[in-house]
Amino acid sequence: DTAVSQTPKYLVTQMGNDKSIKCEQNLGHDTMYWYKQDSKKFLKIMFSYNNKELIINETVPNRFSPKSPDKAHLNLHINSLELGDSAVYFCASSKGRGGSGNTIYFGEGSWLTVV
Amino acid sequence: KNQVEQSPQSLIILEGKNCTLQCNYTVSPFSNLRWYKQDTGRGPVSLTIMTFSENTKSNGRYTATLDADTKQSSLHITASQLSDSASYICVVSAGYQKVTFGIGTKLQVIP
């Protein structure tokens, strides 16, 4: 059983398009995250939600909008895609907030390529 | 500025050999330190979590150490296997929410 699942795994799209990546966790966790891993393999947090409430919103363009319909889902919508958005996007979840020492479980990643 | 630096950037070792990966951090206030393993094309998987009071923790052939005074951690891999080939990422938490990732050490184990 997949703990944190995200779709699609691969996405190739043209500049200017709008796309969404969906994420679901079946671990009963109350905190979910979106991370971006760039070409240099550096993981950087984008957003974090705790019980559907936004608790971390790092400096990302407002073209990126997370949506959490319930605490088991955290979707990422990206408007007007740019070449620099090409990266791997990881969804993750934890019981409690990530800084508190709880294990953060990651999904398998979504490879976004903007052409 | 909270930073996590890892060394070496990459490492190649023979199967069966041991190796040690390093992590230095300037994160404050320190909450906990974790090591993750990320296989190529996969998401990171947690190996160990250590708080301020812990200076060593093992998970099978992986042993992590923490020196909170010098703000250094190491991950020691014993009797390496081909499946250990991956990136190993050091993650340090400051306080309740701030989590800082290192860039990782890419380990390749060759037969």
| pLDDT category of residue B70 using cuts at 50, 70 and 90 | very high
Return all residues near B60 (Cβ < 8 A) that are at least 6 apart.
none
A59: contact with B, CB 8 A cutoff: no
| Shortest Cα–Cα distance, B7 to chain A (Å) | 14
**Secondary structure (3-state) at B44:** coil
**Would you say residue B66 has pLDDT above 70?**
yes
Residue A39: list chain B partners with CB under 8 A.
none
| Shortest Cα–Cα distance, A16 to chain B (Å) | 26
Over pLDDT 90: what percentage of chain A?
65
Classify residue B97 as exposed, middle or buried by CB count within 10 Å of its CB (0-12, 13-18, 19+): middle
Sheet with A4-7: list strands edge to edge.
A4-7, A19-25, A73-78, A64-70
Q: Tens digits of per-residue pLDDT, B72-87?
A: 999 999 999 999 999 9
Residue A27: list chain B partners with CB under 8 A.
none
Classify residue A104 as exposed, middle or buried by CB count within 10 Å of its CB (0-12, 13-18, 19+): buried
Question: What pLDDT does residue B109 have?
Answer: 96
Over pLDDT 70: what percentage of chain A?
94
CB pair distance less than 8 Å for B103 and A48: no
Return all residues near A39 (Cβ < 8 A) that are at least 6 apart.
A86, A87
User: How large is the average pLDDT for residues A51-71?
Assistant: 86
In chain B, which residue's Cα lies nearest the Cα of A38?
A: B103
A27: contact with B, CB 8 A cutoff: no
